[in-house]
């Protein structure tokens, strides 16, 4: 069985309010993918139509930060399920909103480090520590606040295996543990007999750790988790090529 590499192309729009946001390198950046679907040529940003499920399960923690540039972080997705001769134009990927992230941010004379117990939630950014030393990996959440203005490409859902209740297009509900993201392929894809494609992914995590300042880093760093301050998982840089 041939497998194809599909990772995190969907993390292209984390939408935390960033008026006072800091970005820094994530030395650990682990994600969990639960479902990958490819959608036919009637699909849109708002709808994955007639999907073929390429992967369903729990990918486990995939650490993007520990993989060298241009290499592959994980192997997911079974192309043998794709219909020959049918054209596909979108992917839909479901993932857990919880990430495992490590790193630090600096503003002025203050550096704030990630910690093991961030106390963050799907609706709150996580706290840190001003104690000097190596950052500790902890659970932080994708920078996607609850709301109804996230655009057609995204919505939250109550389960990661396709059986959950989806929120409306563009809506993220605070209590939902997963989100679905739709991404148009760079070009329509039609599977041809004898031509199984290779997917190459290059990525970087130099700005994959985000921190939202409110009263300033020196004050915010150790305050209780809140929606308007603290650490969150920012998007990595991703380039996906299907050849």
- Confidence (pLDDT) at 216: 93
- Confidence (pLDDT) at 95: 86
- Confidence (pLDDT) at 179: 86
Task: Output DSSP code: residue 64.
Answer: G
Q: 50-68 burial by CB neighbour count: b if 16+ within 10 A, else e?
A: ebbebbbeebeebbbbebe
Nearest to 97 by CA among 65, 143, 60: 143
Q: How many residues does the chain have?
A: 243
- Confidence (pLDDT) at 112: 97
Sequence ranges of the domains in the chain:
21-106+135-210+232-242
- Confidence (pLDDT) at 73: 53
- Confidence (pLDDT) at 69: 47
- Confidence (pLDDT) at 77: 67
Run of H or E residues at 187: strand 178-190
CA dihedral in degrees (136, 134, 113, 68; nearest 10)? -70
pTM reported for the whole predicted model: 0.78
Round to whole Å and give the CA distance between 171 and 153: 10
Q: What is the mean pLDDT of each run of 10 residues along the chain (243 residues)?
A: 40 50 89 88 95 86 66 62 88 88 94 94 92 90 75 89 92 88 83 70 73 93 93 70 54
């Amino acid at each position: 069985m041939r497998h194809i590499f599909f990772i995190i192309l969907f993390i292209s729009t984390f939408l935390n309010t960033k008026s006072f946001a800091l970005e820094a390198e994530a030395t650990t950046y682990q994600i969990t993918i639960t479902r990958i679907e490819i959608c036919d040529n009637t699909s849109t940003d708002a709808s994955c139509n007639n999907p073929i499920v390429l992967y369903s399960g729990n990918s486990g923690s995939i650490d993007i930060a520990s993989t060298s540039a241009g290499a592959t972080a994980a192997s997911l997705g079974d192309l043998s399920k794709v219909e020959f001769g049918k054209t596909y134009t979108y992917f839909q990927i479901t993932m857990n909103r919880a990430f495992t992230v490590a790193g630090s941010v600096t503003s002025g004379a203050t550096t704030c480090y990630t910690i093991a117990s961030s106390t963050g939630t799907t609706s709150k950014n996580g706290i840190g520590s001003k104690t000097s030393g190596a950052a500790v990996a902890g659970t932080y959440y994708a920078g996607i606040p609850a709301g109804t203005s996230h655009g057609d490409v995204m919505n939250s859902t109550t389960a990661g295996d396709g059986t959950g209740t989806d929120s409306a297009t563009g809506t993220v509900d605070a209590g939902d543990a997963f989100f679905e993201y739709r991404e148009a392929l760079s070009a329509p894809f039609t599977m041809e007999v004898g031509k199984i494609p290779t997917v190459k992914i290059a990525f970087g995590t130099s700005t994959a750790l985000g921190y939202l300042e409110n009263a300033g880093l020196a004050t915010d760093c150790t305050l209780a988790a809140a929606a308007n301050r603290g650490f969150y998982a920012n998007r990595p840089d991703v380039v996906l090529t299907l050849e």
